[in-house]
Amino acid sequence: MPTRAPVSEFEFILNEIIDYEQIIKTSRFKDAGSELVSQILIEAGRMCDDVLSPLNRAGDLHPAVLKNGVVKTSPGFGDGYRAVAEGGWVSTSASPEFGGMGLPQTVTACVNEMMAAACLSLQLNPLMTQGQIEAIENHAEDEIKSLYLPKLISGEWCGTMNLTEPHAGSDVGALTTKAESNGDGTYAITGQKIYISWADNDFTENVIHLVLARIPGSIPGPKGISLFLVPKKIPDANGNAGVANKLKVVSLEHKMGLHGSPTAVMQYEGASGWIIGEPNQGLRAMFTMMNNARLGVGGQGIGVAEAAFQHSTDYALSRKQGKATVANGSGTIIDHADIRRMLISMRADIFASRALELENAKAIDMANATGDLQWVNRAAFLTPITKVFGTEVGINISHLGVQIHGGMGFIEETGAAQFSRDVRVTAIYEGTNGIQAMDLVGRKMMDNGEAAYAIINEIKDYINNLSMVNKDLSELLEMANETLRDTVEHLNAKKEVSDRFGGAMPFLMGYARVLGGFYHLKAAVVEGGSGPRTKLAEFYIRRILPEAMSFLAAAKSGPDEIYNFSINELVGS
Active centre residues (catalytic) = 430
* Spatial contact of 436 and 428, defined as CB atoms under 8 Å apart: no
Across 442-571, the runs of DSSP E, i.e. the strands, are none
Distance CA 477, CA 541 (A): 7
What sections of 140-221 are H helices per DSSP? 142-154
Q: Cα dihedral sign for 36, 38, 41, 42?
A: negative
Cα distances (angstroms) measured from residue 527 to each of 12, 520, 533: 11, 11, 7
Distance CA 486, CA 480 (A): 10
Cα distances (angstroms) measured from residue 139 to each of 142, 228, 284: 9, 11, 9
Distance CA 474, CA 252 (A): 51
* Spatial contact of 312 and 304, defined as CB atoms under 8 Å apart: no
Nearest to 524 by CA among 362, 382, 352: 352
Distance CA 180, CA 142 (A): 23
* Spatial contact of 45 and 37, defined as CB atoms under 8 Å apart: no
Helical pair 105-139 and 416-423, crossing angle rounded to 10 deg: 30
For residue 334, give the DSSP letter.
G
Distance CA 315, CA 401 (A): 10
What sections of 18-160 are H helices per DSSP? 21-24, 34-47, 56-61, 77-86, 105-139, 142-154
Residues 6+ apart with CB under 8 A from 365: 23, 26, 29, 104, 105, 106
Element (H, E) at 477: helix 471-492
Distance CA 479, CA 495 (A): 27
* Spatial contact of 515 and 473, defined as CB atoms under 8 Å apart: no
Long-range contact list for 237-240, CB < 8 A, 24+ apart? 239/147, 239/151, 240/205
